[in-house]
Amino acid sequence: MAVTGSKAADIKTRQRKWEEWKRGLPIYFMILPGLLFFIVFKYVPMGGILIAFQNYDPFDGFLQSSWVGFDHFQRLFQDPDFWKIFRNTLMISALNLFLFFPVPIIVSLLLNEVRLKWFKKGAQTLLYVPHFLSWVVIVSMTVLLFSAQDGGINNLLSTMGYERIELMTNPEYFRMVYLFQVIWKEAGWSAIIFLAALASVDPTLYEAATMDGASRLRQIWHINLPALRSTIIILFILRLGHVMDTGFEHILLLQNSLNIDVSEVFDTYVYRVGILQAEFSYTTAVGLFKALIGLGLVYLANRASRKIGEEGVY
Amino acid sequence: MKSITATRSFSLFNTLVYLVLGLLLLIVLLPCLYVLFSSFSTKSEMLSRGFYLIPKVWTLNSYGYLFSNHNFTASYWNALQITVGGTALSISATTLMAYGLSRTWLRGRKPLNFMVLFTMLFSGGIIPTYLLTSQLGLLNSYWSLFLNNAILPFNLIVMRSFFQNTPKELEEAARIDGCGEWNLFFRIILPLSMTSVATFIMFYAVFYWNSYFQAILFISDSQKMPLQVFLRQIILESGNSLESVTDGYEFGPPVKMAVVVMASIPMLVMYPFFQKYFDKGMLVGSVKG
Amino acid sequence: MKKLTALSLSGVLLTTAAIAGCAGGSAVNKNESGKSKAGADDLGEKITINLMTRSYAGGGWPPNHPVIDELNKRLNIDLKIEWVPAANYPEKLNVMAASNNFPDVYYITNTEYVKWQSKNIFMDVKPELSKYPNIVKYIPEESLKHFNPKDKYYGIPFYYQEARDSLAIRKDWLDKLGLKVPETMDDFYNVAKAFATSDPDGNGKQNTVGFSMEISPAGTFGFGGPANFLTSSFGLANNWKLDGGKLIPMQTQSKELKDFIGFMRKAYAEGVLDKDFPILKSRDSLNKLEAGKSGIANVNPQQLYVETLPPLTKLDPKAELVQVLPPVGPTGLRGTRGLPTADKIVINSKIDAKKQQRILKLMDYMLSDEGYDLVKHGIEGVHYKKTADERYEQLEASVKDRQFLLVGWFFKRFDPMFLIYKWMDPKETATIKAYFDNNAKYVTKNEGFGFVSETAIKVGPNIDKKWMDTMVKVIVGQEPMESIDKAIAEWKAGGGDAIIKEINEEYQKSK
């Protein structure tokens, strides 16, 4: 503190910087364990991405495996089905982003309006249960209800004189079934984050709003949604990063010869061509391609979120 | 006049809320009940009857089978250990780092945030991860699971944004009182952020509870496998039934349902303990008031 | 439980017949030789053996399992078993390869076995086999040769029953409708049609299917489901077929395909073929039989009395199943697609010779009469007991211990009856044996089996799957019959031609 205003400006800024570093010291200590984790367990193995440019052979290791440049990427882009798979993946992602994503928000807002304590708790718990059922169980229950031959609902329809719905095999229904199952399984679970964000709303705001005669809908609009705003934006951006990931197990279970033209996505393609054949280089190349697209979208979305005054994810 | 219309729209609003939620609950509840009740049925009833709720013949055979299977009981206990240990470690590391990165004035914050985000999109894959784990001597130990998953970037990023939303006034007041950064965190911010801590304890617990793949890769002692490994072996048909040799047991549908029920119970029991943290304005209100 | 405690009723003769069946028909006199061999060799030093194999539903044994203890005692070893879930087995093998850290002896999937042969990590067991008479005796030489270079045996085959499943039909339904067990393809179609439309279960509802089948993810017409028994009747190859000294794949048999697909297409259109078949997986068509929803399905004879019949008879006490031989096709052809053994058990080449020999000794012992009896039936007095002369009774511990896991999941004789125990009802055992004997008569061999094509490894799964998708679309009538030729052309262009070339080269080399 001995040096004061009479010195040059750059010394001043240097000193301010130093002060900031010093002030941050305890914080850096807090970050340190996590930082070490990311470096050791995430960045050290990341060298493995290089096998996308090799013909990786587990016995030769990373150093001895032969380099093939962009061969694997070429193979991917030249696959006659590439554009079909790309389109299918984007379509499913779009469903996830625009139709699934709002559902947990709505569910959390609805739950937030429930005044009966027992109902609220019961509803929350129940909506959370499906998250623990495996896709196998969910898909087989859907078959039980909707299979063309003797699905429960189809039997009901046919006794009432309606046509049976070929829900599982008609490609037109595939995306709808997928979306509905995702909502069924994950909406309650995903609502938890929004419920947590809503818990931080100051109750006095509601009191004030009620005194002003604001209706419940207006309160949601003016108090709850703004409280959720930054969470929504962050989750949306993170989801964009995974735009090429569509949940491989789920889709594989729903996939069959008749809906393959809409159900084949990168994850199922890679599983069959890469993973089952232990083609690590090809698998890694496709993964890298997917991640780059995700990164590009996250970058754009992050810039957009800064424009509207939010911080975004980084 | 005004108050009457207010009540009317109020009750209309309420009716709507309950109606929509009630419908949602019904759609969720029925299939879940099917899973529960069919775990008490016989194989032939499940195969032949389609969708039903109340079994004609009740039996505890499926549960009897599970509890007599050594691997089930052992893996259940293992999964509990992995979940408790992993969650404790992860929530500590995540909370500290998330808080640190939420301090907007911190130098070097942006590159650190980006570094975290980057790992969400890019990863080295299973082989380098395995080699690293093996080199660190973690194979066949639960530390391989804990350390490889100490922080999930998603949880870290969302938690960071939660910390950023805590009221600044408190922080400033505390700082004026001469409170150090660690004191500020432990005495003031942390108690205020119990909602978010509770949320991510749940997220981590469920993550560890549901994980299986890394255990298969890293753990060689079959006695140390977690429950999900056992569960998946029962509920997933093997790719080629010619290779799978079962035995006189009915690994039929009811056993599948029973293992799904048993695997959900700890997570369902846990939930109510965390629910109170989601009550509206619970903490902020109490501090301010 | 009744079955477990049931005594064999028919005494000495039938039981010995059953045991003879298990041992591939030549159990006589081998008891002593197996025993003396194990004792004669130098077992002085205690050796630890790490073994890894696949596990399925229910998981593996705890380390202190009585059968392990017994093997340890008899061979002076310390056997440590790692049971890896089958679904993730290839990944496990690959990470082990990356760290070059394999167990002493392990099960290996065919893909990896073929890829890694040149890596010098598998012990060549060929020079050693003369010392191990039981391996020589119970593992056919032809099978040892598969997927191996000339004069080397880098592994010992893991046995699958080549023709395990058999077509079975509801006898009580046939009787009710006044029909006979189908012999020809036309009979088969008529019976299936009657099952679908004439209410064979008599519940007044049209809720039964004629026949059902699955499409395997690998792009064949199901490993379960009657399609296994129908393709040969139309002359379709079991994957590869020898024609004029050249191997041709099923995927390109245009005429035969049209006959077969045409048949299926008609069956689908007339409601004889299950409308759900495109979404069925692994054992679903058998589930339909067990649920009384279909009257024709593939059964696994070994599990007929433990898995298939109990739920069925619970549902309908009159239910009765009989075997159907593959129906005779329009040109007199018939057959069951055989699935020979492709996976192997390998011994680590890096461990010391003494340990390698002890492992071979262990494997030899597991095939000997004494050893096979131990790993299959467990320990007398623990897992079963002798109640009277040559009669056996299963004990409770056998259910809990699942004493057969090493046989089921690791290593066994080439013996289709490997899960048929000496305490089982001799009448049932005889029925099962009859099933297998009949199956063996009609095996359609895959004549390209054991040859490796680089292209097939790379693109095979993808083009096979696409080809199959088109076949399914034709069957359900979404695409016209002409699409078959288009699918063949696409298959060939997508890599099929290269596969045909490579496989034929391999075949020429082998001659």
Highest mean pLDDT among A91-100, A203-212, C144-153, C397-406: A91-100
pLDDT of B285 > 80? The answer is no
Of B9, B14, B161, the CB nearest to A230: B161
Chain B CB contacts of C306 under 8 Å are 247-248
Question: What are the pLDDT digits (tens) for B38-50?
Answer: 999 988 888 888 8
The owner of tokens 């395997």 is C216
What's the mean pLDDT in A137-149? 89
Question: Where is average pLDDT lowest: A63-67, B179-183, C244-248, C315-319?
Answer: B179-183
Chain C CB contacts of A147 under 8 Å are 276, 279
How far does the CA of residue A280 sit from the closest CA of chain B (Å)?
A: 9
What's the mean pLDDT in A83-91? 95
Of B24, B120, B280, the CB nearest to A241: B120
The Cα A224–Cα A38 span in angstroms is 35
CA C2 to chain centre: 28
Q: What is the pLDDT of residue A7?
A: 63
Pairs of CB atoms within 8 A across A/B: 275
Q: Do B107 and A40 touch (CB under 8 A)?
A: no
Q: What percent of chain B has pLDDT over 90?
A: 58
- Residue C168 or C306, more confident: C168
**Chain B neighbours among A 14-73 (CB < 8 Å)?**
17, 20-21, 23-24, 26-28, 30-31, 33-35, 37-38, 40-49, 51, 56, 58, 62
Strands C384-388 and C391-394: antiparallel
- Mutation site for A-interface testing, chosen from C279, C463, C486 by largest number of A Cβ within 10 Å: C279
Question: What are the pLDDT digits (tens) for C91-119?
Answer: 999 999 999 899 999 999 988 998 899 89
Per-residue confidence at C23, pLDDT binned at 50, 70, 90? Answer: very low
- Residue A278 or C17, more confident: A278
Q: Which of the 8 DSSP states describes residue C383?
A: T
Question: Where is average pLDDT lowest: B74-88, C254-268, C289-303?
Answer: C289-303
Chain B CB contacts of C55 under 8 Å are 222, 233
Q: What is the pLDDT of residue B8?
A: 52
Q: What is the pLDDT of residue A86?
A: 96
Per-residue confidence at B251, pLDDT binned at 50, 70, 90? Answer: low
The Cα C382–Cα C66 span in angstroms is 9
Question: Where is average pLDDT lowest: A203-212, B172-181, C158-167, C200-209?
Answer: B172-181
Q: For chain C, list the contacting chains (3+ Cβ pairs, <8 Å).
A: A, B
CA C99 to chain centre: 32
Minimum Cα–Cα distance from C478: chain A residue: A258
Q: Does B161 touch chain A (CB under 8 A)?
A: yes
What are the residues whose beta carbons fall under 8 Å from the beta carbon of B143, sequence distance 6 or more?
none
Per-residue confidence at C399, pLDDT binned at 50, 70, 90? Answer: confident
The Cα C309–Cα C304 span in angstroms is 6
| Burial readout B81-120 (b: 16 or more C-beta within 10 A, e: otherwise) | ebbeebbebbbebbbbbbbbbbbeebeebeebbebbbbbb
Per-residue confidence at B237, pLDDT binned at 50, 70, 90? Answer: low
What's the mean pLDDT in A8-33? 86
Chain B CB contacts of C99 under 8 Å are 130-131, 134
Structure tokens at A64: 């001895």
Question: What are the pLDDT digits (tens) for A164-175?
Answer: 888 999 999 999
Q: Do A59 and C100 touch (CB under 8 A)?
A: yes
Q: What is the pLDDT of residue B145?
A: 96
Q: What is the pLDDT of residue C28?
A: 37
Of C84, C94, C223, the CB nearest to B216: C84
Q: Whose CA is closest to C446, among C507, C403, C405, C366?
A: C507
Q: What is the pLDDT of residue C5?
A: 36
pLDDT of C509 > 70? The answer is yes
Per-residue confidence at A204, pLDDT binned at 50, 70, 90? Answer: confident
Q: Do A45 and B157 touch (CB under 8 A)?
A: no
Q: What is the pLDDT of residue C11?
A: 34
pTM equals 0.90
- Mutation site for B-interface testing, chosen from C56, C88, C300, C375 by largest number of B Cβ within 10 Å: C56
pLDDT of A271 > 90? The answer is no
Minimum Cα–Cα distance from C493: chain A residue: A80
How far does the CA of residue C480 sit from the closest CA of chain B (Å)?
A: 31
Q: What is the pLDDT of residue B288?
A: 43
Q: What is the pLDDT of residue A206?
A: 85
Q: For chain B, list the contacting chains (3+ Cβ pairs, <8 Å).
A: A, C
- Residue B60 or B165, more confident: B60
Q: What percent of chain C has pLDDT over 70?
A: 90
Pairs of CB atoms within 8 A across B/C: 137
| Phi and psi, residue C393, nearest 5° | -135, 135
Q: What is the pLDDT of residue A314?
A: 84
The Cα B61–Cα B41 span in angstroms is 8
Q: Do B277 and A196 touch (CB under 8 A)?
A: yes
Q: Whose CA is closest to C451, among C244, C252, C245, C240?
A: C240
Contact between A278 and A225 (Cβ < 8 Å): no
State the SS3 of chain B: CHHHHHHHHHHHHHHHHHHHHHHHHHHHHHHHHHHHHHCCCCHHHHHHHCCCCCCCCCCCHHHHHHHHCHHHHHHHHHHHHHHHHHHHHHHHHHHHHHHHHHCCCCCCHHHHHHHHHHHHHCCCCHHHHHHHHHHCCCCCCCHHHHHHCCCCHHHHHHHHHHHHCCCHHHHHHHHHCCCCHHHHHHHHHHHHCHHHHHHHHHHHHHHHHHCCHHHHHHCCCHHHCCHHHHHHHHHCCCCCCCCCCCCCCCCCHHHHHHHHHHHHHHHHHHHHHHHHHHCCCHHHHHHHC
What Å distances lie between residue A131 and A70, B32, C390, CA to CA?
A: 40, 11, 55
What are the residues whose beta carbons fall under 8 Å from the beta carbon of A252, sequence distance 6 or more?
A268, A271
Structure tokens at A197: 């964000």
pLDDT of C414 > 90? The answer is yes
Question: Where is average pLDDT lowest: A264-268, B149-153, C56-60?
Answer: C56-60
Of B6, B268, B281, the CB nearest to A203: B281
Q: What is the pLDDT of residue B250?
A: 54
- Mutation site for C-interface testing, chosen from A62, A257, A269 by largest number of C Cβ within 10 Å: A257
Chain B CB contacts of C62 under 8 Å are 70-71, 74, 223
Q: Do C223 and B241 touch (CB under 8 A)?
A: yes
Q: Does A192 touch chain B (CB under 8 A)?
A: yes
Enclosing H/E stretch for A288? helix A280-307
The Cα A46–Cα B160 span in angstroms is 24
- What percent of chain A is helix, strand and coil (3-state, nearest 5)? 75, 0, 25
Of A126, A128, A201, the CB nearest to B281: A201
What's the mean pLDDT in A124-142? 92
Q: What is the pLDDT of residue B132?
A: 95
Chain A CB contacts of B267 under 8 Å are 132
Neighbours of A117 (CB within 10 A): 9
pLDDT of A4 > 70? The answer is no
Chain A CB contacts of C284 under 8 Å are none
Q: Which of the 8 DSSP states describes residue C274?
A: -
Per-residue confidence at C248, pLDDT binned at 50, 70, 90? Answer: very high
How far does the CA of residue A293 sit from the closest CA of chain C (Å)?
A: 25
User: Phi-psi region for residue C268, left (φ > 0), alpha (ψ -120 to 50) or beta?
Assistant: alpha
pLDDT of A237 > 50? The answer is yes
pLDDT of C24 > 80? The answer is no
Q: What is the pLDDT of residue B246?
A: 52
Q: Do C58 and B251 touch (CB under 8 A)?
A: yes
Minimum Cα–Cα distance from B181: chain A residue: A26
- State the maximum Cα–Cα separation within chain A, in Å, rounded to a whole number: 94
pLDDT of A115 > 90? The answer is no
Q: Do C282 and B252 touch (CB under 8 A)?
A: no
Per-residue confidence at C41, pLDDT binned at 50, 70, 90? Answer: low
Chain A CB contacts of B158 under 8 Å are 193, 231, 234-235, 238
Across the strands, what pairs with C55? C85
Of B134, B220, B222, the CB nearest to C60: B222
pLDDT of C17 > 50? The answer is no
Of A124, A136, A213, the CB nearest to B275: A124
Per-residue confidence at B117, pLDDT binned at 50, 70, 90? Answer: very high
Q: Do A277 and C111 touch (CB under 8 A)?
A: yes
3-state secondary structure of A257: coil
Question: What are the pLDDT digits (tens) for C454-479?
Answer: 898 888 888 998 999 999 999 999 99
Q: What percent of chain A has pLDDT over 70?
A: 98
Of C97, C207, C276, the CB nearest to A148: C276
Per-residue confidence at A286, pLDDT binned at 50, 70, 90? Answer: very high
Q: Do B44 and C60 touch (CB under 8 A)?
A: no
